[in-house]
Amino acid sequence: MKHCQYFDTSYVCDWLDEVAKTHFEVIVSCLLPHPVEYARVGGFWDTLCSRTVQIKEGLNCFFCLVPYDVITFEIWDYVMPYWLEAIRTEVPSEDLHHLKVLLNKSFDMDLCPLPFGTDSDKMYHFISERFDDSSAYVQEQALQWLQILSTLDIYLPIHMLLSMFISGVQNMTELLKQQSTAEPESPTKESKPSQPRSFPQNSPEEECPPPLSPAKSHVVVEAFEIYDRETELVLPCYIMMLDLILKQLELQNFPKYLGLYNETSRQIMQLLTLMLGTRWDGTHICSDEQQANSCMFCQNTALWHQVTSQVMQNFCPLSQVKIPTKEIPRVDESKRLSTTPTCMSRKSSVTSNDDVESTAGEKEEECPGFDMTSMPLHLQLHHAFLQELENTKDTDAGFALLTSMKYLILNGECLNYTVTQFPEYVKFSLSKYLIPK
Ligand SMILES: [Zn+2]
């Protein structure tokens, strides 16, 4: 197969076409990073070389077949996961740059010679379908593939990436919900928690035959070596997603400071709200503030907030709204004010909302009378941030969270724009979450 570029084109095309139709599995088995024995003939298979060189040469042969229309969408979709998995597990990160030119050429949306190369949904289907899976393990593997492509400066379409992640988070949240119903008690307690879903022992690509030589080296630390439960991997996946988005926005010189009212910002806000929508799972090994540095769950929580504040900075407008100078009431004056009728009217409006609460479902308990899911996305995110603020004890996480809120409220003017539309919600949320009782 690998020598077909030396043959007469028309003859080879007809022959390959025929073989592809009748022997799909034979073609595919020759195109894998660990091809079947009889396909390991000539070229680099006859020399002793590093696994990186084997993978590079193998990929090169694979891409040489593209002009002959052998690489159909079905073949690409089947074979690429094996290649990326081979790169992930067998190519040391310092060798990754050897594959840069090759992979850039094949994943380039403008120059790609693949027959479906202009259709990003098809080209990345083998990755996006992994975000339809609720397994954090499967999603983390796909995120690592995306990281490899991103490290090699390959442009990943931003909207496609965001759609993938939104569906990924929606699916992983199911895992977290299952976990919280299976284990109602707090996962922070000392005793070793039960394992409702443990990591699969084998990678999803385990069925591929092992390479002959040189010996397969273990170049990655797998998630199941670090975390006890699969649900603990959800938060690291969230961080990887946001980190990938930041890297791609930067790489592609994507316009910054777009504000809240555009499709990209909307997708980002939806993603963040979804991530905050379900309680994260993790095991605290810290008992007090001093040990938070050594607690991986605390570190991951702070890291999520830090990356999120960078994301917020990226799409919220650059300049802050100018707040009109107002005299701040003195404490004794505010005490006097608290008995005035103005405040009473606020209280009564909240009371009337409480009446609605009795008919509202359990979900709205946090915010009586308001169906948050029908609110604009920026208010949903605002609400999610406020709830998170109540639960955040760690100073690093708290600082980053307040920074994110500053961008949303002062730069994005999320409340300023909606105060006339949803005055009751704005009053309620400020009085419940921001005014000390
Ligand atoms: Zn902790």
Higher pLDDT: 335 or 170? It is 170
The token pair at 2 is 């690998």
How many angstroms does the Cα of residue 391 sit away from the middle of ligand 1? 13
Listed in sequence order, the residues at least 6 apart from 176 whose beta carbon sits closer than 8 Å to its beta carbon are 231, 234, 278, 279, 280, 281
How many angstroms does the Cα of residue 132 sit away from the middle of ligand 1? 30
How many angstroms does the Cα of residue 243 sit away from the middle of ligand 1? 22
User: Which pLDDT band, with edges at 50, 70 and 90, does 47 fall under?
Assistant: low
Higher pLDDT: 240 or 57? It is 240
State the average pLDDT over residues 218-247: 90
How many angstroms does the Cα of residue 305 sit away from the middle of ligand 1? 15
How many angstroms does the Cα of residue 298 sit away from the middle of ligand 1? 4
The token pair at 419 is 């105060």
State the average pLDDT over residues 100-117: 83
Most confident of 13-17, 270-274, 289-293: 270-274
| Domain ranges for the chain | 4-118, 124-183+222-254, 291-323+344-437
Higher pLDDT: 88 or 339? It is 88
How many angstroms does the Cα of residue 289 sit away from the middle of ligand 1? 8
What is the reported pLDDT for 362? 38
217 pLDDT higher than 70: no
238 pLDDT higher than 90: yes
396 pLDDT higher than 90: yes
How many angstroms does the Cα of residue 94 sit away from the middle of ligand 1? 33
How many angstroms does the Cα of residue 296 sit away from the middle of ligand 1? 7
Listed in sequence order, the residues at least 6 apart from 135 whose beta carbon sits closer than 8 Å to its beta carbon are 175, 230
Phi/psi for 186 (5° steps) reads -65, 135
What is the reported pLDDT for 7? 57
Print the SS3 string covering 75-121: HHHHHHHHHHHHHHHHCCHHHHHHHHHHHHHHHCCCCCCCCCCCCHH
How many angstroms does the Cα of residue 284 sit away from the middle of ligand 1? 4
Give percent of the chain above pLDDT 70.
74
Least-confidence region, from 78-92, 289-303, 387-401 = 289-303
What's at 358, amino acid-wise?
A: S
Angular region, 253: left φ>0, alpha ψ -120 to 50, beta rest: left
What is the reported pLDDT for 245? 98
How many angstroms does the Cα of residue 268 sit away from the middle of ligand 1? 27
How many angstroms does the Cα of residue 397 sit away from the middle of ligand 1? 12
Q: Is the pTM of this model over 0.75?
A: yes
* DSSP code of residue 279: P
What's at 146, amino acid-wise?
A: L
